[in-house]
Chains A and B, each alone.
Chain A
């Protein structure tokens, strides 16, 4: 994958414009609006599933742009990158191509919470994403601003009050129709930028604001509940103006670990990697923040910002008297800028300069672009199905910040899944959902659609109940196989590799299990290790791995049966320890999966449902409209009794459905259905 060079940006642009100029086609399966992390993954995924796809973006040049921090991954977020990659998404491979500083966070804390992370070269990242999109069959990129979402009457055979039919562009051209539309507008939906006391419309500095038409359609025509969130970005600092000798040097890992399961190395050579630097705020910074509060509109507004990615203003106000960390991160191989992570701020530019110069390493620093705040609309995500489709509107999918999340990885994960389902909808295939028992993407989407957000949502490993199973190392086993066999978003090349890995790991574990002998025999073979004195205990190779003996050691002692698996040493070490714990969680996972497989129809009138439910429970169910029994059970205020009564209802309606099928001609009659016919004839 890495051997493929992205074509020069110039030729890419000309190719696109050629495509655009020949845009005879006005009918697509899927239209994706927005070219950020969510939009690019959505478009690529939709095309992989086989949909004729159009990506509409305001500026082709900014497709794949890293609007904020020049980095990818981390703890929890790295898990998402691995999962997106396992489903054949773009961001993992793009990270391997563009990374200039790789490190595994949490190295000392156990493989379930390792956080693969990389600093990125902004330009390389953009180039990779753009060239990938260009070489994806069935995908067209178009420059334009969407003025309006075209909506019509719903298909009566499916739930929903509206149906999306396409878009109209701002330049007044004729409409472009599509079966599905994926909106990934990021911070552009009614976005406004804040710096000091000035406010201007827009979603990102330097880019035109998006049209008000889209926001209007969502709010007025479709009647969606909309909320408002805020975020911010730090000023970019001129690298030469910073005295880096006054900051702590943080080197990357000496051996970069690629994100993608398809890559064995990164584009950047180990020795070519760039370091990061760490410095801290001080009392001077705090003083500047306090003195300039009256000049800071953004911070005074009562809009929810993220608790975990706060501006320097809110950090100082909430935790005064502390020295907060500021990371100085490279922006690219050739870039002469530094990104001061931790210094997101919205005060007037002259005060921003005063503030950063309080920090010794930056006492003569120059600001290239000042920091600013953004406020934007988001659609309350409880109005979405687990397929990320707006429940009331057939064919309309949302992904990324429009759903109230923050972060590239969260956006990419949703984009991929929305793209998959948009394509499936267009091709009349049933929607697919990921369970929180099998992936962080499932946790993310389930949290969003069943609980909603009150602040920008970011992934943490503490959100995953089955953290010991949802590890970065096994994302391919969890998702690639399913992605090919059930979802259709994975190439056969990747699938074959995942099958090879799965089979090898199984064979290796079987070989280890077969290596069972008494501890005295083990001691003879491996004199270096200490064992308990009990001689007659029989131990298998797997059990040795569970007790700090490495696979490499065993392989060197038993080369004939273990050496074929040496490339999987690390994975085997992890599997052996964690399998023990995952087995314990199996039952709970099975229970959740069972409940998630029982879907609740979206058009139920909970107030007239003929089952015993309290008024309070009915109100909650009516408000949230959970898609499955599983998500209903997790809602706050839903009693176990209510779940069982709903279960009874689901079983009942399921049987009635079967009767309906039976009564249609050309259907085979079965005994079981006769039985249910009796039950269904009972009065409701």
Chain B
């Protein structure tokens, strides 16, 4: 099958391998056939640039060399591009299914006259979730396109010299906010079924890579059986098939819960369940004067001022010898970690009368409830937390007023609301504040963006599948290039589950093999 002309030892080795494995014909293919698609280096990014939540018009931004392609395909433009920086009304179609997704404005910004300095396109579409999701997924199907990372548009703009220093300084805060929002969202998803699935894949891929790397780095000196690679072959095949299946039915599959996650937390018997019942105006949770009544998380879906909210009541935080209660406390802390907004409820009878002492007491209390605050030693995330002092009806009128006034003057605390679930005192003010908070959170471009995350996961999984194809393509030709495929696959998956470093791979190698000379 190979020509008689000798081609160096490497080729000879390939020859042996090929013939020993049933000799696939030496096909000559064009380059794009030979190399698996989806790995092109052109890096064009897209993202929903307007806020989430209810809005009339949503803006989807695209930046990078494939912008023009995306525009042509999505706006049904055969050859010519629209005049630069002029709005054009077009039907926006899915390039694969050819169905019309929406009718909206498209604007073409050729480089360098754009926000990022690169070729850019803006799609101004209707603000419904379904339309946005459809457009984002359609963009993800255009070759060379991927969802933008946190702050990536701004970073590109900076690199193109489009941003001044002040704006760069703002960029750090922006990325921080975005990654924080993503971290919380990721945490939420990773504890769900989808998270387990991704983690399982990541774990399997890590082992595959470790075994290929061990075979590359050590098999010449050490006893590493050839069977190792056959196992990897099987794993890669299975993973690829599983991921493809997952990509196909993902739309029908698990739908991420949307809505702002609000968690009620605090010590036992502070009146957390009463607050939940007040907010949802029905007895969703059992209330009793016995400390530790609520043991599991009680969830209720609510609509606060038109925004979807998922309200969770949690077990009171205390050290308890009761196993069930301890588990409840663990779950409560886990919820707080994942929350967008935490309502820390305190029995106001426990607050010391002196203002300074009261502030110190409340700060200490917040530390014990909010685990992240304790670990990071940062300031209290004032926009992520409300302090609710309950049972004001048990305080004499004048004491209550002094407490209210004094706490207003103390700095270093999140907003404080004095309420009584018993007499409804202060409840209206509290609801107004809660409404403002929820509204802000919904306006946060990422806090409630399941569509964007879905599109992002999809793109990364597609890259992962394509990279696994590279492994199979090169498996019998060049193991270094095959290993590169597994590395790429792990990098793509790592964008969902977290980065995997070389040391982690080496740890698996040394655990699984006896390497030494």
**Does B3 reach chain A (CB closer than 8 Å)?**
yes
Q: Is the CB of A573 within 8 A of B7?
A: yes
Q: Is the CB of B7 within 8 A of A325?
A: no
Q: Chain B residues with Cβ under 8 A from A642's Cβ?
A: 172
Q: Is the CB of B28 within 8 A of A530?
A: yes
Q: Is the CB of A580 within 8 A of B8?
A: no
**Does A539 reach chain B (CB closer than 8 Å)?**
yes
Minimal beta-carbon separation of B378 from chain A (angstroms):
6
Q: Is the CB of A462 within 8 A of B502?
A: yes
A106 to B43, CA, bound (A): 34
Q: Is the CB of A106 within 8 A of B216?
A: yes
A581 to B215, CA, bound (A): 21
Segment from B103-111, B163-171, B233-241, B429-437 that makes contact with A: B163-171
Q: Is the CB of B151 within 8 A of A532?
A: no
A147 to B100, CA, bound (A): 83
Neighbour of B516 across the interface among A309, A531, A651, CB < 8 A: A309
**CB-CB under 8 A for A319 and B514, given A577-B478, A587-B41:** yes
A-B residue pairs in contact (CB < 8 Å), sample of 11: A75-B216, A108-B14, A109-B479, A325-B221, A325-B223, A468-B481, A529-B26, A532-B27, A543-B31, A550-B8, A648-B165
Neighbour of A641 across the interface among B1, B41, B179, B482, CB < 8 A: B179
**Does B480 reach chain A (CB closer than 8 Å)?**
yes
Q: Chain A residues with Cβ under 8 A from B29's Cβ?
A: 532, 547
Q: Is the CB of A115 within 8 A of B176?
A: no
Contact residues, A560-617 vs B (CB, 8 A): 569-570, 573, 577-578, 580-581, 583-584, 586-587, 611-612, 614-616
Which chain A residues have a beta carbon within 8 Å of chain B's beta carbons?
69, 74-76, 104-113, 115, 307-310, 314-315, 318-319, 322-325, 327, 341-342, 451, 460-463, 465, 467-468, 519, 522, 526, 528-532, 534, 537, 539, 543-544, 546-553, 556, 569-570, 573, 577-578, 580-581, 583-584, 586-587, 611-612, 614-616, 639-642, 644-645, 647-648, 651-652, 679
A578 to B150, CA, bound (A): 32
Q: Is the CB of A547 within 8 A of B17?
A: no
A550 to B3, CA, bound (A): 9
Q: Kindly list 4 other residue pairs between chains A and B, CB separation below 8 angstroms, not including A108-B14, A530-B25.
A: A74-B220, A108-B10, A111-B480, A569-B8
Q: Is the CB of B14 within 8 A of A648?
A: no
Contact residues, B105-156 vs A (CB, 8 A): 150-151, 155
Neighbour of B514 across the interface among A324, A451, A581, CB < 8 A: A324
Q: Scoring B residues 9 to 32 as 1 if CB is less than 8 Å from chain A, else 0, what string do you get?
A: 111011011000000011111110
Q: Chain B residues with Cβ under 8 A from A323's Cβ?
A: 223
Neighbour of A342 across the interface among B155, B173, B505, B517, CB < 8 A: B517
Which chain B residues have a beta carbon within 8 Å of chain A's beta carbons?
1-11, 13-14, 16-17, 25-31, 34-35, 39-41, 43, 150-151, 155, 164-165, 168-169, 171-173, 175-176, 179, 213, 215-223, 376-378, 474, 477-484, 502-503, 505-506, 509-510, 514-517
Q: Chain A residues with Cβ under 8 A from B16's Cβ?
A: 108
Neighbour of B216 across the interface among A109, A537, A587, A647, CB < 8 A: A109
Q: Chain B residues with Cβ under 8 A from A570's Cβ?
A: 8, 10
Neighbour of B479 across the interface among A104, A113, A325, CB < 8 A: A113
Q: For B27, give the chain A residue with the smallest CB separation.
A: A532
Q: Chain A residues with Cβ under 8 A from B164's Cβ?
A: 679
Q: Chain A residues with Cβ under 8 A from B503's Cβ?
A: 451
Q: Which 8 A-B pairs have the closest CB atoms?
A: A550-B7, A110-B480, A110-B478, A528-B3, A641-B176, A112-B480, A109-B479, A645-B172
**CB-CB under 8 A for A467 and B3, given A342-B516, A546-B34:** no
Neighbour of B175 across the interface among A528, A578, A641, CB < 8 A: A641
A651 to B165, CA, bound (A): 8
Minimal beta-carbon separation of B154 from chain A (angstroms):
9
Q: Chain A residues with Cβ under 8 A from B223's Cβ?
A: 322-325
Minimal beta-carbon separation of A471 from chain B (angstroms):
9
Q: Is the CB of A109 within 8 A of B179?
A: no
Q: Chain B residues with Cβ under 8 A from A108's Cβ?
A: 10, 13-14, 16-17, 479
Q: Chain A residues with Cβ under 8 A from B31's Cβ?
A: 543, 546, 580
Q: For A679, give the chain B residue with the smallest CB separation.
A: B165
Q: Chain A residues with Cβ under 8 A from B173's Cβ?
A: 612, 641
Neighbour of A463 across the interface among B376, B481, B502, CB < 8 A: B502
Q: Is the CB of B3 within 8 A of A584?
A: no
User: Which of A69, A465, A550 has the most chain B CB atoms inside 10 A of its CB?
Assistant: A550
Minimal beta-carbon separation of A91 from chain B (angstroms):
19
A546 to B481, CA, bound (A): 13
Q: Chain A residues with Cβ under 8 A from B480's Cβ?
A: 109-113, 461, 467-468
Q: Is the CB of B510 within 8 A of A308?
A: yes
Q: Is the CB of A107 within 8 A of B3?
A: no
Q: For B476, give the chain A residue with the smallest CB separation.
A: A108
Q: Chain A residues with Cβ under 8 A from B221's Cβ?
A: 74, 105, 325, 327
Neighbour of A467 across the interface among B11, B171, B218, B484, CB < 8 A: B484
Q: Chain A residues with Cβ under 8 A from B35's Cβ?
A: 580
Q: Chain B residues with Cβ under 8 A from A75's Cβ?
A: 216-218, 220
Q: Chain A residues with Cβ under 8 A from B25's Cβ?
A: 530
Minimal beta-carbon separation of B233 from chain A (angstroms):
15
Q: For B41, give the chain A residue with the smallest CB separation.
A: A584
A614 to B172, CA, bound (A): 12
User: Which of A104, A105, A580, A584 has the most chain B CB atoms inside 10 A of its CB?
Assistant: A584
Q: Is the CB of B516 within 8 A of A308?
A: yes
Minimal beta-carbon separation of B334 from chain A (angstroms):
22
Q: Chain B residues with Cβ under 8 A from A548's Cβ?
A: 2, 11, 14, 26, 477
A526 to B5, CA, bound (A): 11
Minimal beta-carbon separation of A589 from chain B (angstroms):
11
Minimal beta-carbon separation of B212 from chain A (angstroms):
9
**CB-CB under 8 A for A648 and B169, given A530-B1, A550-B5:** yes
Q: Is the CB of B216 within 8 A of A550?
A: no
**CB-CB under 8 A for A307 and B172, given A461-B217, A530-B27, A548-B11:** no
Q: Chain B residues with Cβ under 8 A from A573's Cβ?
A: 7-8, 10-11
A192 to B29, CA, bound (A): 62
Neighbour of B28 across the interface among A324, A462, A529, CB < 8 A: A529
Q: Chain A residues with Cβ under 8 A from B474's Cβ?
A: 110
Q: For B515, give the chain A residue with the smallest CB separation.
A: A308
Q: Is the CB of A112 within 8 A of B506?
A: no
Q: For B25, give the chain A residue with the smallest CB separation.
A: A530
A422 to B5, CA, bound (A): 51
Q: For A341, give the chain B residue with the smallest CB separation.
A: B517
A548 to B28, CA, bound (A): 9
Q: Is the CB of A644 within 8 A of B151?
A: yes
Q: Chain A residues with Cβ under 8 A from B17's Cβ?
A: 108
Q: Is the CB of A310 within 8 A of B516?
A: yes
Q: For A634, give the chain B residue with the smallest CB separation.
A: B501
Q: Chain B residues with Cβ under 8 A from A587's Cβ?
A: 41, 43
Q: Chain B residues with Cβ under 8 A from A526's Cβ?
A: 3
Minimal beta-carbon separation of B310 from chain A (angstroms):
28
